[in-house]
Every structure is written in C-alpha cells, then in structure tokens.
C-alpha cells in the first residue's frame, strides 16, 4: 500500500486539508505510515485487530 507521492509538492493536491475533519487528516497520516501499513497487513485475526486498535487508537466499524 504505497501512496502516490509524485504530487507531494503540488499545493492543489492537498487543498482538501484546509476543510478536512480531524479523522480525515488522521487517516491521511496513518495510511502513509510504514508502521501502520505493516500492522494492517499483519492484522488478519480478531486478536491482531484488537492489538492494532490498541496500538493506533482506532475503532473499526462492522
């Protein structure tokens, strides 16, 4: 899950941040975080999901 970083210097690519809610900004941070990416890839069991939720302060809806 590698984000497209080709436009990272383009201010128009991040214009949405000016009016984004906190959860959207948090997601943008998390999805780019290599530690989160690793944990997400490894969270295939219920126990692993619980551990991930504790580590990252997340709550998943079903």
How many angstroms separate the CA atoms of 28 and 31, rounded?
6
pLDDT digits (tens, 9 = 90+) for 15-51: 888 888 888 888 888 888 999 999 888 888 989 888 8
Q: Which residue has the higher pLDDT, 62 or 23?
A: 23
Indicate the pLDDT class of residue 2, thresholds 50, 70 and 90: low
Q: Which residue has the higher pLDDT, 59 or 32?
A: 32
3-state secondary structure of 45: coil
For the chain, the structural domain boundaries read 21-62
* Predicted local confidence at residue 52, as pLDDT: 86
* Predicted local confidence at residue 14, as pLDDT: 77
Look up the pTM and report it. 0.61
């Amino acid at each position: 899950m590698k984000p497209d970083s080709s436009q990272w210097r383009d201010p128009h690519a991040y214009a949405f941040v000016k009016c984004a809610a906190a959860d959207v900004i948090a997601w943008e941070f998390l999805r780019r975080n290599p530690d989160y990416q690793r944990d997400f890839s490894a969270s295939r069991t219920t126990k692993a999901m619980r551990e991930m939720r504790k580590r990252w302060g997340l709550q998943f809806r079903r």
